């Protein structure tokens, strides 16, 4: 090991979970004396925190990795780490494919980065992908934002959706203790952050693995109980959460969101398909009627709540008529935002082996048609903001206009307004909305 300061760079692919893991791993590296380098080519340690949800996400990792592996041939002192979901999925095979790698570590091992690196610095090539119990991280994450922070509440997923790699790569559900979550949020509030997003692949599953049952036979630590337990943490003005699974979504949760002032009026509830036979083949465990009932209940109790979701087109066997059921659901519900994707066969998942795969052309065409509809519906949903005064938490500059700042409404709509970032960063400002677009708003401050 050299005595001069060692620099590190992390590139993160994938979802909010991975972003949160990267922030924790950055915290661990800084605790070990590493310093952040914006330029990966100046860094002595490079960590790729990877995603394998779809094939294109995985291929991106290999192309980045190839470049640094080449660099390592000239600079043997470079430490190369692959963490996250590709690491878990490919494990030993990844080490063989890229022999320059020093460390391959699955997502459950994020909090052990320091001890794994110690083994690397002793001269070992390390692969850490065995399932483990996730320990609390005792270092402080290096958070990307100074305004908003992620907090994991449950790791892993016990569902078995037939298209999805997540259970294979993230392991079984492991809930953090409510006290640990509250302690982390308290620290976040004390450090000046204003917003927390509670994270889980299936957040409604929170607490199922924790001991304790109420007199009514309910788990003592449901996600709704957790919201009541953490909602008053000082300094935090807003609480968000994702992702909700329709199978476990409860009316009690809607009521908690309506009742707790800091909990924002936004639900992210992926439906994946609007067709019951496809939902069954996906093993999602609900029907489109059940999904619609959930949305109806939300709109009855919180009429203005934003609703966003994820959907997949071209799942194996999906006919034109079945795809049209997805269009119908999107048209009738009117989402504020929808993340859409063409089905991508993933290794180790049942649906990848089915013979009734849909052609790339058809998938591409359906994706485009769905995206058009999504944008049209989002424009409609945006109209309700026109002329209204919205509370916006200022996070950053508008990257396209220096004189403007940007933030989000409570409903998570990206909003721009004139202002000076220095003065407004981390502030809740009142913005009168003057312009609406599909996925963003513009307004005037202080009216
Ligand atoms: N736990 C969440 C989603 C996690 S993955 C849930 O159950 O809803 C994020 C999104 O990626 C999914 O909602 C799904 O829409 C998409 N996705 C997952 N696997 C996919 C695959 N094989 N092909 C295309 N999209 C996929
Ligand atoms: Fe994947 Fe289904 Fe788990 Fe979501 S609930 S992470 S889609 S297996
Ligand atoms: Fe990707 Fe892993 Fe998240 S596969 S979407 S980074 S859980």
Q: Is 164 in the pocket of ligand 1 (CB under 6 A)?
A: yes
- DSSP 8-state symbol, 92: H
pTM above 0.85, yes or no: yes
Q: Which atom of ligand 2 is nearest to the CA of 165?
A: 1
- In the block, tokens 């800091």 appear at 262
User: How far is it, in rounded angstroms, from Cα 427 to Cα 233?
Assistant: 17
Ligand nearest to the CA of 242: 1
CA of 131 to the centre of ligand 3 (A): 17
Instruction: Report all structural domains of the chain as residue ranges with CATH numbers, in order of start.
Output: 7-128 (3.40.50.12160), 145-264 (3.30.750.210), 386-444 (2.40.50.140)
Q: What is the pLDDT of residue 447?
A: 57
Q: What is the pLDDT of residue 418?
A: 96
| Residue 241 in tokens | 């959460």
Computed on alpha carbons and rounded to an integer, the radius of gyration of the chain in Å comes to: 22
For residues 262 and 303, is the Cβ–Cβ distance under 8 A?
Answer: no
Q: What is the pLDDT of residue 215?
A: 65
CA of 173 to the centre of ligand 1 (A): 17
Q: Is 340 in the pocket of ligand 1 (CB under 6 A)?
A: no
> What is the three-class DSSP state of 402?
strand
Per-residue pLDDT of the chain (447 residues; tens, 9 = 90+): 445 689 999 999 999 999 999 999 999 999 999 999 999 999 999 999 999 999 998 999 999 999 999 999 999 999 999 999 999 999 999 999 999 999 999 999 999 999 999 999 999 999 999 999 998 887 889 999 999 999 999 999 999 999 999 999 999 999 999 999 999 999 999 999 999 999 999 999 999 999 876 666 655 789 999 999 999 999 999 999 999 999 999 999 999 999 999 999 999 999 999 999 999 999 999 999 999 999 999 999 999 999 999 999 999 999 999 999 999 999 999 999 999 999 999 999 999 999 999 999 999 999 999 999 999 999 999 999 999 999 999 999 999 999 999 999 999 999 999 999 999 999 999 999 999 999 999 999 975
Buried b (16+ CB within 10 A) or exposed e, 274-283: bbbebbebbe
Q: Is 312 in the pocket of ligand 1 (CB under 6 A)?
A: yes
Q: What is the pLDDT of residue 2?
A: 47
CA 343, 62, 31: angle at the middle one, nearest 5? 110
């Amino acid at each position: 090991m050299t005595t001069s300061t060692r620099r590190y760079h992390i590139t993160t692919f994938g979802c909010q979970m991975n972003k949160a893991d990267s922030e924790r791993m950055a915290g661990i590296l800084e605790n070990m004396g590493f310093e952040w380098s914006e330029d990966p080519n100046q860094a002595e340690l490079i960590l790729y925190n990877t995603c394998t949800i779809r094939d294109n996400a995985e291929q991106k990792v290999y192309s980045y990795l190839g470049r640094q592996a080449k660099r390592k041939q000239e600079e043997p002192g470079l430490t190369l780490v692959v963490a996250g979901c590709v690491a878990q999925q490919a494990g030993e095979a990844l080490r063989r494919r890229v022999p320059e790698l020093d460390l391959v570590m699955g997502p459950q091992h994020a909090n052990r980065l320091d001890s794994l690196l110690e083994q690397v610095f002793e001269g070992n090539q390390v692969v850490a992908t065995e399932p483990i119990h996730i320990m609390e991280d005792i270092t402080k994450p290096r958070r990307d934002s100074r305004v908003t922070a992620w907090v994991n509440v449950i790791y892993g997923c016990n569902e078995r959706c037939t298209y999805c790699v997540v259970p294979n790569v993230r392991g079984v559900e492991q809930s953090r203790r409510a006290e640990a979550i509250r302690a982390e949020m308290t620290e976040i509030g004390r450090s000046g952050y204003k917003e927390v997003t509670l994270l889980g692949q299936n957040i409604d599953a929170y607490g199922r693995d924790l001991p304790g049952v109420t007199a009514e036979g309910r788990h003592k630590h449901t996600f709704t109980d957790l919201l009541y337990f953490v909602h008053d943490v000082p300094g935090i003005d807003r609480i968000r959460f994702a992702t909700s699974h329709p199978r476990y979504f409860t009316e009690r949760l809607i009521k908690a969101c309506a009742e707790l002032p800091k909990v924002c009026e936004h639900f992210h509830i992926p439906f994946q398909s609007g067709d019951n036979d496809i939902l069954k083949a996906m093993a999602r465990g609900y029907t489109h009627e059940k999904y619609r009932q959930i949305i109806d209940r939300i709109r009855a109790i919180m009429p203005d709540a934003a609703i966003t979701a994820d959907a997949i087109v071209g799942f194996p066997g999906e006919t034109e008529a079945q795809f049209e059921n997805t269009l119908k659901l999107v048209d009738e519900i009117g989402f504020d935002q929808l993340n859409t994707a063409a089905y991508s066969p993933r290794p180790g998942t049942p649906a990848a082996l089915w013979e009734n795969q849909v052609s790339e052309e058809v998938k591409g065409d359906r994706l485009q048609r769905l995206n058009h509809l999504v944008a049209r519906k989002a424009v409609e949903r945006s109209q309700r903001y026109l002329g209204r005064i919205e509370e916006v938490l200022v996070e950053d500059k508008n990257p396209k206009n220096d004189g403007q700042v940007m933030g989000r409404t409570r409903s998570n709509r990206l909003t721009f307004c004139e202002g000076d970032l220095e003065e407004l960063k981390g502030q809740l400002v009142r913005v009168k909305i003057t312009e609406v677009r599909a996925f963003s708003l513009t307004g005037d401050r202080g009216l």
